[in-house]
Amino acid sequence: MADEEQNVAEKKQSPLILVGIVAGLTLAAGGGGWLVGTMLAPPPAEKPAEETAAQPAADGHGGAAKEGEDGGIPHISTEANGVVLLDPITSNLAYPSENRVRLEVALMFNGPPDVVLAEEIHQDILAYMRTVSLQQVQGPRGFQYLREDLEERVDLRSEGRVTNVMFRTFVIE
């Protein structure tokens, strides 16, 4: 009879011990994760207070200065890189005509960029987008077909001088 009481007492204590072990391991894992996280990702360097206070007044946009100005990350679309950013293209689709598309494209030239050729390509893309229907560009496959069609038209127009057509934005409303 005493053996049965002792077994019952041991069974009652085992869940409490198990919960304690799990809680201890959880705390150890959390502490280890925090330690490794601080070692791998040190805190960001702080800007001097004078610089952060003067920045919103300097750019006039509340601190949202464009990259490439004031020594930031330079824009990729420069003539030195051979990239020309075309003006945004906004057009109605062929069907349904109440839907509109806005497209921003950049062209990468092989060699020095040609602005006149870039403007011709811009007009060609605009004319093509007016012939596209919504069903043709729906989904990832439709977007891929549109991309391939535009690359083919650009290649024909530029006679191989444009090496890449980069989509910056593509919106249909």
End-to-end CA distance of the chain: give it in Å, rounded: 81
Give tens-digit pLDDT for 111-131: 888 889 999 999 999 999 999
Please say if the pLDDT value at position 75 is more than 70: no
| CA separation for the pair 150, 146 (Å, rounded) | 6
User: Top-level CATH class of 83-172?
Assistant: alpha beta
Confidence of residue 52 (pLDDT cuts 50, 70, 90): low
Which two structure tokens, joined as six digits, stand for 94? 């062929």
pLDDT at 36: 85
Other CB atoms within 10 A of residue 166 CB: 13
Looking at residues 76-82, what average pLDDT do you find?
A: 66
DSSP for residue 93: -
DSSP for residue 131: T
| CA separation for the pair 102, 90 (Å, rounded) | 4
Q: Where are the domains of the chain?
A: 83-172
Which stretches does DSSP call E strand in the chain? 83-85, 89-92, 100-109, 162-172
Please say if the pLDDT value at position 49 is more than 80: no
Identify the three-state secondary structure at position 12.
helix
